[in-house]
Amino acid sequence: MNTMSLSQMQQVGGGNTGTLLKVAAFLWSHRETLSNIASEAAIEMADLDAECGKP
């Protein structure tokens, strides 16, 4: 498997690779919380739809 160094990835990614890796790490470390938020939002949307008479 061919691997690239961080500096090589930054060159390919236009210098944004470090930022993207930080964002990915944040999302990964908070995935359970984000999943819970999404689930709660889906429940709220279903409740609002039910109140408005939507199926």
- Read off the pLDDT of residues 1-55 as tens digits, 9 standing for 90 and up: 567 677 777 676 666 778 888 899 999 999 999 999 999 999 999 999 999 987 6
pLDDT of 37 = 97
Q: What pLDDT is recorded for position 16?
A: 78
Residue 13 carries which DSSP code?
A: T
Q: Which residues contact 18 (CB under 8 A, 6 or more apart)?
A: 6, 10
Q: CA–CA separation, 55 vs 44, rounded Å?
A: 14
Q: According to the model, what pLDDT value does residue 1 have? A: 53
CB neighbours of 33 closer than 8 A, spacing ≥ 6?
none
Dist CA 5 CA 53 (whole Å): 55
| Residues in contact with 16: Cβ distance below 8 Å, sequence separation at least 6, in sequence order | 10
Task: Report the pLDDT value the prediction gives residue 29, as an integer from 0 to 100.
Answer: 96
pLDDT of residue 38: 97
